[in-house]
Structure 1
Amino acid sequence: MRVAIAGAGAVGRSIARELLGNGHEVLLVDKSPSAIKVERVPDAEWLLADACEMSSLQEAQLQRCDVVICATGDDKVNLVVSLLAKTEFAVPRVVARVNHPGNESLFNESWGVDVAVSTPRLLSALVEEAVTVGDLVRLFSFKQGQANLVELTLPEDSPQIGNRVGDVPWPTDTALVAIIRQNRVLVPSRDDPLEALDELLFVASADQERRLQNLLSPHDD
């Protein structure tokens, strides 16, 4: 797989090293000469250019890329590069970094973004996930928020404790993908019973999250 990364700062270089380690081809693009540190990621291709310019993206041969990652520290740049990658070069998958939570709503398909990664939201979600029991925590959004990775730690008074996974009336467009129990990761089967303090991971559509919350941990209004 060929991947172009706009932004060769610490984040872009870290992503590049990870992808190269997994056997992918990587091109790093940055307009700042100080960011071109070939010795930090010697196996990557490097291009000194402004990723917001069509001529730069043509030089990068973006049409050959399977994925474009917009990893700069400037949300405006990430949006422009996402839009150009999708509309002008038909890149199949565009991943964009969100630096400021207030801009998160812009990172959607109208700007060419397939997956938006908000560092502040992710860190906040991981903090919440670590300390909350009985509350649904959104960890990650897929495909412009049409589906989310969510977590809920089953409280001791949940009405579903003791029920088998296959007997729980799960909402539509909801999939239980893992149960974390006492430091073990379980792939759930229909016959697995739910236990108190199970950490449940779901892929669920946004409009089903409230139903899922009420099913597992109903709150008194």
Structure 2
Amino acid sequence: MRVAIAGAGAVGRSIAHELLGGGHQVMLIERDRAHFEPGTVEQAEWVHADACELSSLEDAGMQLCDVVIAATGDDKVNLVVSLLAKTEFAVRRVVARVNDPNNEWLFTEAWGVDVAVSTPRMLAAMVEEAVSVGDLVRLMTLRQGQANLVEITLPEDSPLAGQAVEQLSLPKDCALVTILRGGRVIVPQPDDPFEPGDELLFVTSADVEHEIQAALGLS
């Protein structure tokens, strides 16, 4: 897979290292001479250019990329890169970094974004997930907000304890995808019982997210 990364700062270089380790081809696009350091990721193709300029992207061969990652520290730049990648070069998958959570609402299909990754929101979610019991925690938004990955930890007095998975009545457009129990990752089977302390992960539409706690008897 050929991946273009706009922004060769610490984040862009880290992503490049991970992708190269997975056997992918990586092109790093950076306009700031101070961040243009090919020696830091030698296996990547480096392009010194402005990723917001259409001609620069054409010269770099953006049209040959399967995935584009807009990873700069500027949300405006990431939105422009995403829009150009999708509308001008028909890139199949566009991933964009969100630096300011207040701008997250902009990172949608209208701007060419397939997946928006908000580091501040993800870190906050990890903190909530670590300390919240019985409360629903949104971990990630999927497919332009059409679905969310959410987590809830069953408290010690959960009415669900001892009941089988098949007894759980979830709302429409919601699925229990895994149970984390101690060091185990459990793929839920109909006769698996719930236990206090279980971390339940669901994929759900935003419309019914609020109904999950009621289904678990926790509201």
The normalised TM-score by structure 1 is: 0.96
User: What residue number does 1:127 align with?
Assistant: 127
Q: Give the Cα–Cα distance (whole angstroms) in 1 for the partners of residues 159 and 86 of structure 2.
A: 46
Q: Give the Cα–Cα distance (whole angstroms) in 1 for the partners of residues 11 and 217 of structure 2.
A: 37
Contact 2:12 2:72 in 1 (8 A): yes
After superposition, the Cα gap between the structure-2 partners of 1:217 and 1:48, relative to the gap in structure 1 and judged at 3 Å, is farther
Say whether residues 1:215 and 2:184 are aligned partners.
no
Q: Give the Cα–Cα distance (whole angstroms) in 2 for the partners of residues 43 and 122 of structure 1.
A: 29
Say whether residues 1:101 and 2:71 are aligned partners.
no
Cα drift, residue 143 of structure 1 = 1.1
Cα drift, residue 156 of structure 1 = 2.5
Name the aligned partner's letter for residue 215 of structure 2. Answer: L
User: What residue number does 2:187 align with?
Assistant: 187
Please identify, of 151-160 and 116-125, the stretch whose mean Cα deviation from structure 2 is larger. 151-160
**1:16-27 matches, cutoff 5 A:** 16-27=16-27
Q: CA-to-partner distance for each residue in 1:4-38, whole Å, 9 max, x for gaps?
A: 00000000000000000000000000101111111
Say whether residues 1:67 and 2:67 are aligned partners.
yes
Q: CA-to-partner distance for each residue in 1:47-98, whole Å, 9 max, x for gaps?
A: 0000000011101211111110000000000000000101111001100000
Say whether residues 1:15 and 2:15 are aligned partners.
yes
Report the 3-state secondary structure (helix = DSSP H, G, I; strand = E; otherwise coil) of the residue aligned with 2:63. Answer: helix
Q: CA-to-partner distance for each residue in 1:109-134, whole Å, 9 max, x for gaps?
A: 00000000001100000000000000
Name the aligned partner's letter for residue 63 of structure 2. Answer: Q
**1:133-212 matches, cutoff 5 A:** 133-212=133-212
Report the 3-state secondary structure (helix = DSSP H, G, I; strand = E; otherwise coil) of the residue aligned with 1:105. Answer: helix
Structure 1: segments with no counterpart, 5+ residues = none
Give the number of aligned pairs.
219
The normalised TM-score by structure 2 is: 0.97
Q: Give the Cα–Cα distance (whole angstroms) in 2 for the partners of residues 150 and 123 of structure 1.
A: 14
Report the 3-state secondary structure (helix = DSSP H, G, I; strand = E; otherwise coil) of the residue aligned with 1:144. Answer: coil
Cα drift, residue 217 of structure 1 = 4.4
Contact 1:82 1:96 in 2 (8 A): yes
Contact 2:20 2:43 in 1 (8 A): yes
Contact 2:12 2:71 in 1 (8 A): yes
Q: Give the Cα–Cα distance (whole angstroms) in 1 for the partners of residues 60 and 177 of structure 2.
A: 38
Cα drift, residue 176 of structure 1 = 1.3
Contact 1:154 1:217 in 2 (8 A): no
Q: Give the Cα–Cα distance (whole angstroms) in 1 for the partners of residues 29 and 119 of structure 2.
A: 21
Say whether residues 1:51 and 2:51 are aligned partners.
yes
After superposition, the Cα gap between the structure-2 partners of 1:217 and 1:35, relative to the gap in structure 1 and judged at 3 Å, is farther
Structure 2: segments with no counterpart, 5+ residues = none
Report the 3-state secondary structure (helix = DSSP H, G, I; strand = E; otherwise coil) of the residue aligned with 1:161. Answer: coil
Contact 2:168 2:216 in 1 (8 A): no
Name the aligned partner's letter for residue 135 of structure 2. Answer: D
Contact 1:180 1:200 in 2 (8 A): yes
CA RMSD of aligned residues (A): 1.0
Name the aligned partner's letter for residue 127 of structure 2. Answer: V
Q: Give the Cα–Cα distance (whole angstroms) in 2 for the partners of residues 149 and 196 of structure 1.
A: 21
Please identify, of 105-114 and 171-180, the stretch whose mean Cα deviation from structure 2 is larger. 171-180
